[in-house]
Amino acid sequence: MTTAVFSRILRRHACSVPFLTCLAALVPGLSRHVAIADDAPAVNYGDYYGFGPLEIFKLEFRSHSMLAGDFNSDGRGDLAIVDNSHSRIDILLQREHPPEDGASTSQDVNRVDSHWRFEHTKLPVDREVDAMIAGDFNSDGKTDLAYFGDPDRLVVRYQTDGREWNEKWETRLADVTATTWSIATGDFNHDDRDDLVVLGDQSTYVLTQNAQGGFATPISIRNTAEELRLGMSGDFDGDGRDDLFYTATSDGERYICVRMQTAKGELGPEFRLDLKNSLGVSVYDMLGDGTEEILAISGQTERLGLYRAHRPKPGEEPESRPIQFGVGVKGSGKRDLDVGDLDGDGLADVVVSDPESAQLIVYRQQAGSGLDLGTSYASFLGVEQLRVQDLTGDGRAEVVVLSPKEKTIGLCRLDDDGARITFPQTLPIDDEVLTFEIADLNSDAVPEIVYMVKGPEEESGSKSRSRSSSTKFLLKALTYPTNGEMEPYLFGEDRTEVEVETRDVGRLTALDANADGRVDLLLTIDSSRAPTLLLTDEHGVPQPVTGGGGVQLTDLEAGAVFSGHLGDAPALLIAQGAFARRMELDADHRWQVLDQYNSGESTAKVKGSALLDLDGQPGEEIVLVDTGSGKLRMFRQQDELYRSWRTIDIGSFPFQSLKVADLNGDQREDLLLFGGNRFAVLYTGQTDPRLEELANYESQRDDAFLVDMSAGDLNGDGQPDLAVLDNESHTIEIVVVLPGDQADEPVRMYPAVNFKVFEEKSFHESGGGGLEPREMLISDVTGDGRADLILLTHDRILLYPQDTPSAQAQPAATQTGGE
């Protein structure tokens, strides 16, 4: 029913406010708001907030990206704002005194002249500006401006000698659909210099400032979602490093995300926090401990919540959440993924195909820190299948790729220097390969490349085949013998092929169907047809088998099959419908169900399952990938039965397949979920930050609709307050944030005052006017050391100067709720 609204908190370098005591001096329409909750303190907080006379500055309806900073190096706070209607950036320089010639006046009684407070200077631009941010981008101590202009230019305008902006730097960034606040600034490599981040369509660009006052070549981080918005920076986990915040929208859901800076000074993979579809989102150090908290207005309850990162305390059970890695937002959905040790360092790496870009993306595992963010290498066009495995026994895995588009299968590997993946070399196969798998058919520790091709054509005189009948295909294989030259594999003593009759060919999957220790092959066609099983005999020859009744494998996709171990015994899991089954083929070639693990929900759609050690205790746990409810469901053995243990929210993850491997070098297997345009890793031995709600606030006014907020000290007591926008009535609520009086309630929020920004006629039951005010920030722009409230609404800036201090006591932070 409503449009999502986002807010942005002023960067810390743009506002440094000495704290003074202020007494309320009411502006017109100001309402003293006394809390009426049963546990509310007997304090009228409205007595401690007030503003001087309203100051108005005329701009344009298309003005956006309002920023505060010292834009002429005179020590006073100014404002900068984009005006695309005149192809310029408006810079409002703070005056200390009214101009001698006086403010201009007009005979037009309907005209409101701008206040004398600011001198209006204009910085021309040669393209439409979509987003702008302020920072010191050449480390000269002056505040500069960076903006993104249509269609593809990031431009930095450097402040030179007070009023001049003659120096600039620009670069082209492809595939960026910039919106307000799609640029962020922060120290993203921990070198005490302001860097830039641009949220693009396919990638997030990181531009780090160098020692010469310029920028290094942009670093591209692949996005995990179709739409990234609202870039912010701050220290999320308390390590003293700037992290990157943003919102990501995928499959109709909007997440608050953070990429935390690593010890190497690089942005890491994406954490998706437990906050979805929020209206307003901001980050600010509300507790004064150097760590940013998250402010978010729930789209469901319309309450404002205050959250902080929390790590489990000693004795609490560690809990990890899937960490997201981007592959590519757009393009073919027929990507493939596999895991293997490419460089022989004992650490598993991840390889993903990018068919439309004719690339392989390699995510190398770094000792002690897990996977990197991926590097692309050239490959065949249209690679839809790949496998990563050591075929030569040298400890370094090869990569086998199949491109139906180029009708070829090839092999590549890391070069001798370990610098890049070589371009695939075509394998000695004359036929068109339809699908392939890597499997050790004869148990000699040398895996074979097993593949399928079309069989011989029917005689021309034969009758046309019905759509339901089978077609002959041939199963073949290649192997590496001791001489190092690839050659055809012999099935038995002299056969180079095995005939297989099936309706079609989909994917080959290696598994142990009958728990005899030999690798079998399952040929899945599509979810509506039963797969074809090829059982490997003692001579290493896969033979097609037909079941003799009993449980049938229907509605089966390749990603639904998991072959692993339960203890020392082979175990085969099949995901079907609302459950997963542990199955085994008996001597009569009938599928038998050994155990079943139900999701327990009517909406469940179990698309995958896995066995791995999740708790560090003896024995494996079972994981179900439930895409119907968007959860990972975990089962742990208790009293000889597997019982539901934990669930983890994964949202609308586009699941295709999964892998189990140690992906951070801690000697424990981790779970990797592949979703085509991204993959997620659940590190089993890792403790990730959780969000802890410190407090929440709900307006006590009828029909209020909170959509936006800004934080800052609005009464000079040294503690940050909140200005919250009610878009229903275009009202600002000032909210006081105080320490709580209980361990489980460390912070409380109470209403102080509220006032309407403007009145508007409406012929509807709800308020009109869209989102107005559309931007707000808190910063000192009057030169008195007290932070002011600044709103951008319609075609003007509204400045509410914080009132002068008086002798009345301030609402000390020592006053706790209930006293």
Helical ranges in 680-798 per DSSP H: none
Question: What mean pLDDT comes out for the span 129-152?
Answer: 96
Q: What is the pTM of this model?
A: 0.88
- Asked if residue 410 lies in contact with residue 380, where contact means CB atoms within 8 angstroms, the answer is yes
Residue 17 confidence class, pLDDT cut points 50, 70, 90: very low
Tens digit of each residue's pLDDT (9 = 90 or more) over 608-626: 999 999 988 889 999 999 9
CA distances, 390 to each of 118, 414, 682 (Å): 69, 12, 25
Residue 306 has pLDDT above 90, yes or no: yes
Nearest to 223 by CA among 269, 171, 172: 269
**Do you know the residue count of the chain?**
819
Residues 154-181 have a mean pLDDT of 91
User: What CA–CA distance (Å, rounded) separates 195 from 498?
Assistant: 60
Confidence tier at 11 by pLDDT (50, 70, 90): very low
Site of tokens 């148990």: 443
Residue 39 has pLDDT above 70, yes or no: no
Show the tokens assigned to 767: 């308020």
Average pLDDT over residues 25-47: 55
252: left (phi over 0), alpha (psi -120 to 50) or beta: left
Percent of the residues in the chain that have a pLDDT greater than 90, as a whole number = 68
Is the model's pLDDT at 32 over the cut of 60?
no
- What distance in Å separates the CA atoms of residue 392 and residue 482, rounded to the nearest whole number? 9
pLDDT digits (tens, 9 = 90+) for 383-441: 999 999 999 999 999 999 999 999 999 999 999 888 999 999 999 999 999 999 999 99
Question: Residues near 321 by Cβ (< 8 Å), separated by ≥ 6?
Answer: 271, 272, 648, 682, 688, 690
Q: Which amino acid is residue 811, in one-letter code?
A: P
403 neighbors 387 (Cβ within 8 angstroms):
no
Is residue 6 pLDDT above 50, yes or no? no
Q: How much is the average pLDDT of 810-818?
A: 46
Q: Where are the alpha helices (DSSP H) in 556-708?
A: none
> What is d(CA 595, CA 584) in angstroms, rounded to the nearest whole number?
10
Assign 721 a pLDDT band (cuts: 50, 70, 90).
very high
Q: Which residues contact 562 (CB under 8 A, 6 or more apart)?
A: 572, 573, 574, 575, 608, 609, 610, 611, 658
Secondary structure of residue 669 in the 3-state scheme: coil
HEC states along 237-301?
Answer: CCCCCCEEEEEEEECCEEEEEEEEECCCCCEEEEEEEEEECCCCEEEECCCCCCCCEEEEECCCC
Output phi, psi for 451, to 5 deg.
Answer: -145, 165
More confident residue, 684 or 340: 340
**pLDDT per position as a tens digit, 194-211:** 999 999 999 999 999 999
Q: Give the other-Cβ count within 10 Å of 11's Cβ.
A: 22
DSSP assignment letter at 421? B
Among the listed residues 305, 126, 399, 84, the one whose alpha carbon sits nearest the alpha carbon of residue 749: 305
Q: Residue holding tokens 């990197």? A: 372
> Are residues 58 and 796 in contact, defined by beta-carbon separation less than 8 angstroms?
yes
Distances (CA, A) of 437 to 357, 494, 574, 599: 23, 22, 19, 31
Q: Residue 732 carries which side chain, given as an amino acid letter?
A: I
Q: Does residue 795 surpass a pLDDT of 70?
A: yes
CA 193 to chain centroid: 25
Superfamily of domain 12-311+691-800: YVTN repeat-like/Quinoprotein amine dehydrogenase (2.130.10.10)
